[in-house]
Amino acid sequence: MRATTPAEDFVRGIWKENPVLVQLLGLCPALAVTNTVANSIAMGLATFFVLVGSSLLVSTFKKVIPHEVRISAYILIIATFVTIADLVLAAVVPLIHKELGAFIALIVVNCMILGRQEAFASKRPIGRALLDAVGTGVGFMIAMLMMGTFREVLGNGSILGVPLFGDNFEPWVIFILPPGGFLTLGFILLAFGWWQERKSDTARIRQWPHGVATPSREEAA
Amino acid sequence: MKELPQVSPDVLETADAGAAREAGGGGPTAPPERPATSSARLVATLAAAGALAGLVIVLVFGWANPKIQAHRAEVLRQAIQEVLNGPESVRTYYVVDGALSESPVPGADTINAERIHLGLDDAGEPVGYAITGQEPGFQDMILVIFGYDAETDRVLAMKVLESKETPGLGDKIFKDTSFVAEFRGAAAPLEGVKSGAGSGVENEVDMITGATISSRTVIEIINNRIEALGPMLDESGS
């Protein structure tokens, strides 16, 4: 396993290994509550808080938690942070809390968060775990915002509730309904995959002169 | 050949930490066999963590709960003003053993007790009751508050307090202002009719196309609550 630099730990989750767009983790909230930009932001922030908080605690107590019960301990820590987020949202922004409903409680079973604890926070120093959690949380928020903007603009003709088009715009209602979540995610993954493939093609063409068969990564190695 | 997006070993490690490290070669080797931890220590760790987590949650709850309750009371107060067309003052009655009472049953939970609110105008005359009711709609429970004038047997206005109905379809029960306006001054018991098919009778409410179940639920909630509470309201109104 290659050692990583702190900067790599931070940037990795934002783009190259974006939890939603590349690892396809945390899809439940990404599909369910991205029907408006405001909901996406609130969900992104709540998940960010839970992820950073639990990574910090898991990394701090990694020596104390016995190996046999580590998953239960992680879930306990995550669930505590989720309950706190739930109560704080209900007290501070009751309207958004009402919109998000049961999906806040479901952050507990977001595999993106548990995955970062088991794969990273439980094995690294606190600083690295924090960087990784912040990076992954920002990456998650970017993905949520992409979906939320796409869906609200097409499905409701507005951003953050502010109408963008005139009265003649007929909202594409399917995009704020559940099927719209799947369609949007599909379109975004398509664009993402196309962009990545094109990038790797360009890299290969630069390395090899024209007319030379490009070897695959395994052959080149 | 297509390249798959590269995912660093960190991500894959979850599945099989030991194997991944050995395959990687040159990196840190697999951790040595761990001695089994005693059950007492496992239980103690989880118990301590659970107790701490509970303490933190209780502290946060103590801070958040007053705000949540205050918000709920404020929403209810505004809704009462809305469905009774802005009464001068509001008197709250508790429903105790099939009759209205000014004070709740001693020791009962005053927040969740069944109550209705009587609005009075500036001369102290009753303008109507604000009544809440809930029933399952298309997705989840729909909680409705409506103003009801017991003397003329009419609904004053309706407002949906809580619903998780389908965005774009069922949520028209509170987003569609013409549907909400249908309830103003409608005579009880209400009868839902297909949009545009009404014959102009006063108890007809045009239902929403595409949200039949949601709009029918709202109508039924109001009818059921009037039927259940009507006799009590007539008594105390006279």
- Residues A125-134 as b or e (16 or more Cβ within 10 Å = b): eeebbbbbbb
**Distance from C-alpha of A121 to C-alpha of B126, rounded to nearest angstrom:** 64
Which one of A114-123, A166-175, B183-192 scores highest in mean pLDDT?
A: A114-123
Residue B21 is nearest to which of A1, A66, A200, comparing CB atoms?
A1
Q: Mean pLDDT lowest for which of A156-170, A206-220, B57-71? A: A206-220
Residue B49 is nearest to which of A76, A91, A196, comparing CB atoms?
A76
How would residue A211 be classed by pLDDT, with cut points 50, 70 and 90?
A: low
The more confident residue out of B181 and A183 is: A183
φ, ψ at B101 (rounded to 5°)? -140, 145
Owner of token pair 């179940």: B213
Contact A216 B67 (CB under 8 A): no
Q: Which of B144, B134, B133 is CA-nearest to residue B82?
A: B144
Chain B's closest residue to A177, CA to CA, is B167
In the predicted structure, residue B15 carries a pLDDT above the cut 60 = no
The more confident residue out of A214 and A177 is: A177
The more confident residue out of A82 and B110 is: A82
Test mutation, A80, A103, A189, chain B, max B CBs within 10 A: A80
Q: How many residues does chain A have?
A: 221
Chain B positions touching A68 (Cβ under 8 A) are 36-37, 42
Owner of token pair 């009587």: B118
Contact B57 A84 (CB under 8 A): yes
pLDDT at B138: 87
pLDDT at B198: 65
**Average pLDDT of chain B?**
78
How would residue B48 be classed by pLDDT, with cut points 50, 70 and 90?
A: very high
Chain A: closest CA distance from residue B76 (Å): 14
Which one of A132-141, B133-142, B174-183, B222-231 scores highest in mean pLDDT?
A: A132-141
The more confident residue out of B30 and A181 is: A181
Residue B164 is nearest to which of A87, A101, A119, comparing CB atoms?
A101
In the predicted structure, residue B16 carries a pLDDT above the cut 50 = no
Contact B20 A72 (CB under 8 A): no
The more confident residue out of A51 and B153 is: A51
Which residues on chain A place their C-beta less than 8 Å from a C-beta of chain B? 1-2, 4, 12, 16-17, 22-23, 35, 64-69, 72-73, 76-77, 79-80, 83-84, 87-88, 90-92, 94, 98, 101, 115, 118-120, 155, 171, 173, 176-177, 196-197, 200, 216-217
Chain A positions touching B172 (Cβ under 8 A) are none
Contact B46 A118 (CB under 8 A): no
Sheet strands side by side (includes B126-136): B99-101, B89-96, B115-120, B126-136, B141-149, B154-162
Contact B67 A77 (CB under 8 A): no
In the predicted structure, residue B19 carries a pLDDT above the cut 80 = no
In the predicted structure, residue A50 carries a pLDDT above the cut 90 = yes
How would residue A147 be classed by pLDDT, with cut points 50, 70 and 90?
A: very high
For B87-117, the pLDDT digits (tens) are 888 888 887 777 777 777 666 666 666 788 8
Residue A1 is nearest to which of B9, B68, B71, comparing CB atoms?
B9
pLDDT at A88: 92
Residues 55-94 of B with CB under 8 A from A: 56-57, 60-61, 63-65, 67-68, 71
Secondary structure in 3-state letters for chain A: CCCCCHHHHHHHHHCCCCCCCCCCCCHHHHHHCCCCHHHHHHHHHHHHHHHHHHHHHHHHCCCCCCHHHHHHHHHHHHHHHHHHHHHHHHHHCHHHHHHHHHHCHHHHHCHHHHHHHHHHHCCCCHHHHHHHHHHHHHHHHHHHHHHHHHHHHHHHCEECCEECCCCCCCCCHHHHCHHHHHHHHHHHHHHHHHHHHHHHHHHHHHHCCCCCCCCCHHHHC
ipTM: 0.76
Mean pLDDT for the stretch of residues A105-117:
89
Chain B: closest CA distance from residue A117 (Å): 10
pLDDT at B234: 67
In the predicted structure, residue B20 carries a pLDDT above the cut 70 = no
Q: Mean pLDDT lowest for which of A45-54, A112-121, A182-191, B89-98? A: B89-98
pLDDT at B55: 96
Chain B positions touching A77 (Cβ under 8 A) are 49, 53
Owner of token pair 């009711």: B133
In the predicted structure, residue B163 carries a pLDDT above the cut 80 = yes
Residue B34 is nearest to which of A35, A67, A69, comparing CB atoms?
A67
Contact B168 A216 (CB under 8 A): no
